[in-house]
Amino acid sequence: MQVSLINYTPNPELTIVAAARSSASQSTIEELRHKLSPRQINDLLKQLLDSGHLSPFEHASFTFSIEGISRVTSHQLVRHRLASYTQQSQRYVPLKEHHYVTPPTMSRQTDLLAKYQRAVENAHELYSQMLEAGIPAEDARYVLPQATETQLVMTMNARELLHACSLRLCLRAQWEIVELFERIKAEVERVAPRLGAELKPKCYRLGHCDEPESCGIFPTLKSKVEAK
């Protein structure tokens, strides 16, 4: 899996804070951008987050190149609808080489791993035979497994990143999408460290786990109430 930040709003944290401050200021955005100190930016970001005033975070966006994830994970990813996606098309791009994702649980069972690899490779062999026989790629792709790797470009604003990470960095999320958002978080931290630090599971904000069962980081709300 490879995740690269290929474009983003310049000075994203300053942009967020200046936009927020402009709602209660007579100064122009440019004036605010020059007035705000690093400490003020940090303090105002905290204030916005603590108060739940998240609309200013929509003014900063991040574009990622994502390669080597399975179709399983790309299907989960695009459920975050407040984002833009452009995915490599299996309709127009024949997959001459077959790259696929193997779950770690499979790797620990040697006999099943061999069967898994054989099944995936057999599926791609049939796919290749279909293409050679003149079957259109858009039809031949029906035989490809969900383990097949894909690549896409995703643009997401900071508010949606906060929301997506609150769900997908949860240790109860599936391992591959957790890894994907860990890499997304690392890319954001390079250019917006204060914002990147806030990309974390929702239990850190809530102070409890709102799932039926906790992973152990925080107790469930029910356990928290019962302990009082």
pLDDT digits (tens, 9 = 90+) for 153-203: 999 999 999 999 999 999 999 999 999 999 999 999 999 999 999 999 999
Contact 14, 41 (CB under 8 A): yes
- From residue 56, how far is each of 38, 44, 59, 70 by CA, in Å? 17, 11, 6, 33
Q: What is the pLDDT of residue 215?
A: 83
Looking at the fold, whether 154 and 132 belong to one and the same domain comes out as no
Q: Which residues contact 31 (CB under 8 A, 6 or more apart)?
A: none
Number of folded domains that form the chain: 2
Looking at the fold, whether 57 and 108 belong to one and the same domain comes out as no
**Distance between CA atoms of 217 and 208, rounded to whole angstroms?**
9
**Distance between CA atoms of 47 and 23, rounded to whole angstroms?**
15
Sheet strands side by side (includes 83-87): 2-8, 61-70, 149-157, 83-87
Q: What is the pLDDT of residue 225?
A: 66
Looking at the fold, whether 139 and 159 belong to one and the same domain comes out as no
> What residues are labeled active site?
168
Q: What is the pLDDT of residue 227?
A: 66
Q: What is the pLDDT of residue 27?
A: 67
Q: Which residues contact 89 (CB under 8 A, 6 or more apart)?
A: none
Give the strand pairing for 83-87 and 2-8.
unpaired
Q: Specify if 227 maps to a domain.
A: no
Q: What is the pLDDT of residue 206?
A: 86
Q: Specify if 215 maps to a domain.
A: no
Q: Residue 50 maps to which CATH number?
A: 3.30.1360.170
Q: What is the pLDDT of residue 144?
A: 97
Looking at the fold, whether 75 and 155 belong to one and the same domain comes out as yes
Q: What is the pLDDT of residue 226?
A: 65
- Which regions of the chain are under pLDDT 70? 24-29, 31, 224-228
What is the extent of the structural domain holding 165? Answer: 2-85+149-202
Looking at the fold, whether 23 and 55 belong to one and the same domain comes out as yes
**Phi and psi based region of residue 207 (left: phi greater than 0; alpha: psi -120 to 50; beta: remaining):** left
Looking at the fold, whether 74 and 49 belong to one and the same domain comes out as yes
Q: Specify if 222 maps to a domain.
A: no
Looking at the fold, whether 196 and 153 belong to one and the same domain comes out as yes
Looking at the fold, whether 45 and 132 belong to one and the same domain comes out as no
Residue spans of beta strands (DSSP E) within 22-73: 61-70
Q: What is the pLDDT of residue 108?
A: 84
**Distance between CA atoms of 152 and 3, rounded to whole angstroms?**
10
Q: What is the pLDDT of residue 223?
A: 74
